[in-house]
Amino acid sequence: MTMRKNSLTKRLATLLPGVFVLCGAQADEHKQTDATQIQVTQLAEGLANPWGMTFLPDGDMLITERAGDIRRYSFDNGLSKPLANVPEVDAVNQGGMLDVVLDPEFADNQTIYFCYAKAGDQGRSSAVSKATLKNNSLTNVETIFVAEPLVDNGFHFGCRLAFDRQQHLYVSLGDRNDYMDEAQNTDNHFGTVVRIHKDGSVPESNPFVDGDAPEIFTYGHRNVQGLTVHPQTGEIWAMEHGPRGGDEVNVLSKGNNYGWPVITYGIDYDGSVISDKTHQEGMEQPWVYWDPSIAPSGMAFYTGDAFKDWQGDLLVGSLKFTHLRRIDIKEGKPGEQHEYLRDNSARIRDVEVGPDGLIYLLTDAPDGKLLQLSPAK
């Protein structure tokens, strides 16, 4: 296959800093909401750049650490030692042990899935393995998917995971930074979201099943750092990092092209122009985008009872601006945005809603923390 590094040309920046845009129209400025509405409880600290988490049926949590470990958190006993028999990861720059999810039939098979940077002869790539969880150890570890090709850099791995209602596993894969143009090529896995069965095989209904990368479900993505299922519609929602400006939330549909880098609301970090287009026929518009970038990571729909006024809203973590963001959703469309916890100055890497209806956050730092949010008393 041919891989072309993008050659950038200069243009005048047409994007307006400080404007948050919803569905292509200028939105009202977001609000930093009174922090007294929320009580923050620190449950754990000392996590090495925690990245992903998921709840077990008994109420415990699994938490990944980018350096290469998976740990178990118990409300009674705190953090466990790293799980045994976790496969070796290639923790270079943004790579490492990233997301983790449970098999939809975990209660019967105790199977978990995790996405991580895996090394090979030609570099490294995003890989997905499955394993049986037994107490604080993994058994029956099996690699079911490796994104191709492997390249020798440590950026834009994607690696968020989600199961849909039909038990298909979705895996987000970044453009690996140096190969952005390849996000428009459906013969490799750069800049895609793939859909596979639980054993790694390809669903016959995939849109590019006869191509060189039959796992692809959607393409034209930059670096998807949030992936979740809408609780009512069952649709897959994805959230990706733009460059300087142009972070996006997209509702995924089979075979669709989400535009990167042909269309974008961002420019490159050095001010160079990536594209002078924000729209093109055959390419999807985001459900919401942000300029300036908030560096979003982790997303979840609020479905609990603890924050009754938040039912159905979208929760998003911000790395850059160190806050939790809530987007009101009215009749399927984005409304007002609210910020929480910005004064904590902690990069929010992941967001989960617990079975108790409370909200759980991971902070991205060498001494990362697990936080619990509850309504203020």
Give catalytic residues, as residue numbers: 156
φ, ψ dihedrals at 335, nearest 5°: -120, -140
Distance separating alpha carbons of residues 255 and 210, to the nearest angstrom? 13
Residue 364, number of CB atoms within 10 A of its CB? 22
| 194, 208 contact by CB (below 8 A) | no
Q: What is the DSSP letter of 40?
A: E
For residue 38 the two structure tokens come to 């929320």
H helical segments located in the chain: 106-109
Distance separating alpha carbons of residues 184 and 264, to the nearest angstrom? 13
Query: HSE-up of 181 (CA within 13 Å, CB side)?
Result: 8
123-134/25-26 β-pairing: unpaired
List beta partners, residue 330: 333
Q: What is the residue whose two structure tokens read 């997905």?
A: 128
| 137, 85 contact by CB (below 8 A) | yes
Distance separating alpha carbons of residues 50 and 30, to the nearest angstrom? 28
| 23, 334 contact by CB (below 8 A) | yes
For residue 219 the two structure tokens come to 């393409």
Residue by residue, DSSP assigns 7-28 as PPB-----PPTTEEEETTEEPP
Residue 65, number of CB atoms within 10 A of its CB? 23
